[in-house]
Structure 1
Amino acid sequence: MSEARPPITIVIPTFNRPEGLIKAVKSLFTQTLTQQGGFDLVIVDNHPEATADDAVTSLREACPDSIRIKAVHEPRPGIANARNAAMAQVTTDLVAFLDDDMCAPADWLERLLEGYRAHPVAVSFGPVLTALPETQTRHREYFSNFFARDPGHQTGLIDASYGCGNALIDFSKVPGKAPWFDVTMNEMGGEDDRLFDRVRAGQGQFAWIAEAPVDEHPLPSRLKLNYTLRRAFSYGQGPVTLARLADPPRRLDMLKWMMIGAGKAAFHGTLWLGMSAIRHPRRAFQIDQAVRGLGKVIWFLDFHFYGTSQLSRNPLGLHWFKPRPKPGALKADEV
């Protein structure tokens, strides 16, 4: 990699969140790395009507000279579509991913690169800390826990993989070629799991960089049990889905997970009923676990969270089961 070319690119996909995008990108303007050669920044507007145009224009005007912004419009909704469109613009092996509801501290990118130099693996992950508005008092502890990603790892090699938000990927160490993200996962997510499955298949490694956290600012519409419990249900379906889509299907494993799910739903559901009767502040944790168990039993329902489902009038994103491609390894928090 030549010295004239930035050693790293940051990718931010966005979907109809101009205010969040502005906050996310402005947190990159103050990165300490801007004084050390800067970096490329690729923004992908994934809304069909290009709702980020005005935000991108204002960001270009405020952007430091050491940051080179590339803006792309990918009108086909879907997180895999957006990330693939971004990767088509990338000219570096190292790519850091940030979501449009995240903000990074000033030393974030520098810490990611320091961790990579110490552990030059295919994929490195950092913590995600939840930043809730002060007005969010109902189920505050639960929501803070739900959106966070901080399993307590020390910096170093890990076996688990997580989501792309706050991840650094060395694509020279990922087997295969573009397109990197599986577009068949556009609606329900999991395209990053499929990518990380490539890494595992190629004997690649993962690392955790505890010194490189970011803050996530969940949308107000997501700070509701109606949203988080649908996600919890979908997470709970994961083990049964993997067993069902194995070749040949592992039917005994499916039955095992369904029985575990039934027990989990009954146990945590009973606790939730009791805790709800006394309005216990941690009751949401119990219904979350009960719903994850229920997902293992009712595995034939699909919840769609991305792509065209964000434009539809189906408020729950609920779809009856239809055959779908085999997902990659589950994220560590999805069982």
Structure 2
Amino acid sequence: QPGLCPAAVPRGPVCRGGVMDRVAVIVPTLRRPEGLADALASLMAQQGVGDRLGEIVVVDNDREPSARAVAERFQAQAFPVIYVHEPTVGVASARNAGLAATDAPLIAFLDDDEIASPGWLTALLATQKTTGADVVFGPIRGRAPEAAADVRPYLEDFFGRAGPTTDALIDHPFGCGNSLMVRATALPGPAPFEVRWDQSGGEDDALFAALSARGGRYGWSAAAWVDEVAPAHRANLAYTLSRAFAYGQSPSQAAWAKRDVAGVVKWMAVGAVQLAGWSLIALPLTLLRRPGRARARDRAARGLGQILWLPGLAPRFYGASELQRLDRAASP
């Protein structure tokens, strides 16, 4: 039963009174010192968690330890901070390194571009307790302050996340950012995130697919708000449309992974209709530079992804590719 101590786990700081109640927050980071500082400041301001928050694990995923100074600024504040340098650049490697640095039975994930509301962690913990879910997700308010005004609403929706207005069990997972997981059931083994997804992302999709196959349950915590601040090198149509294309690839790739040929054909047919229909809408809107052009192009890109779903065509958003984008953004 999620939330209860396995027999092999000693009673103490990890399990008090037979209940697994200690949580660690893992914050992977890659060359975002300002974003990391904002994320850590929001964690230090968490309310109502008391000593349940055992530690905050900062995983510096740069080749050089560029986030050490930021992490050290917070080490003598409200909650303990553990700094980990993981030079193998990749999202799965970073998450696995964070897990290796803590034995907490409950694991929360916050990205380095997210700012947690003061009641964030308390809300996630309360929802996990009431629903018994293996993984709990919360809503995300997207922010793109540096984006062009006419596409900003689309971008902020793109980087945001919405769900039910009340706490509930839900029938599908979201991404790892802004989540709480029961380690024993959702994160089995020493390295549950597959490193083959280091560069493209999708490590959480694989994790949740395996959890679903084991009968895992997902919950939604309506009060567990975070703000996600999209940096300038991501807050643009070139980036989000490539992400939309990759999102579109997912159902076709999932069907192929099951060797469901009929499913692949179905999703490709759906994608063809979606691509044709939304392209017809997107073309005049783009020519006239109307605000709705971004959403229409997003839907067309998802349709194209359902058609061109082969793994070799998947865009890369993490690891070395993200370092290259950061280098370009830093160039004069």
TM-score normalised to structure 2 length: 0.88
Counterpart position of 1:250: 260
Residues 297, 38 of structure 1: alpha-carbon distance in 2 compared, 3 angstrom cutoff = closer
Counterpart position of 2:244: 232
One of 286, 289, 314 as aligned partner of 1:302: 314
Q: Number of aligned residue pairs: give it.
A: 311
Counterpart position of 1:120: 132
Counterparts of 1:166 and 1:81, CA distance in 2: 18
Shift of 1:211: 1.1
SS of residue in 2 equivalent to 1:276: helix
SS of residue in 2 equivalent to 1:32: coil
One of 151, 160, 172 as aligned partner of 2:184: 172
- Kindly report which structure 2 residues correspond to 1:1-335, keeping only aligned pairs within 5 A, or say none: 2=11, 4-5=13-14, 7-33=22-48, 35-36=50-51, 38-61=53-76, 63-64=77-78, 67-133=79-145, 136-152=148-164, 154-174=166-186, 176-246=188-258, 249-300=259-310, 301-312=313-324
Shift of 1:164: 0.6
Counterparts of 1:130 and 1:13, CA distance in 2: 19
CA RMSD of aligned residues (A): 2.2
Provide Cα deviations, 1:172-231, integer angstroms capped at 9, x if missing partner: 223742211111111111111222223222212111010111110011111110100000
Shift of 1:269: 0.6
Identity within the alignment, %: 37
> Is the Cα contact below 8 Å between 1:11 and 1:41 reproduced in 2?
yes
Residues 37, 177 of structure 1: alpha-carbon distance in 2 compared, 3 angstrom cutoff = closer
Provide Cα deviations, 1:242-261, integer angstroms capped at 9, x if missing partner: 22232xx3333222222211
SS of residue in 2 equivalent to 1:222: coil
Shift of 1:40: 0.9
Q: Which amino acid aligns with 1:83?
A: R
Shift of 1:278: 3.4
SS of residue in 1 equivalent to 2:121: helix
Provide Cα deviations, 1:47-69, integer angstroms capped at 9, x if missing partner: 111110221222225x22xx111
Unaligned runs of 5+ in 2: 6-10, 15-20
User: 143-152 vs 69-78, which deviates more?
Assistant: 143-152
Counterparts of 2:184 and 2:165, CA distance in 1: 25
Counterparts of 2:108 and 2:169, CA distance in 1: 18
Unaligned runs of 5+ in 1: 317-335
Residues 134, 51 of structure 1: alpha-carbon distance in 2 compared, 3 angstrom cutoff = closer
SS of residue in 1 equivalent to 2:75: helix
Counterparts of 2:176 and 2:227, CA distance in 1: 14
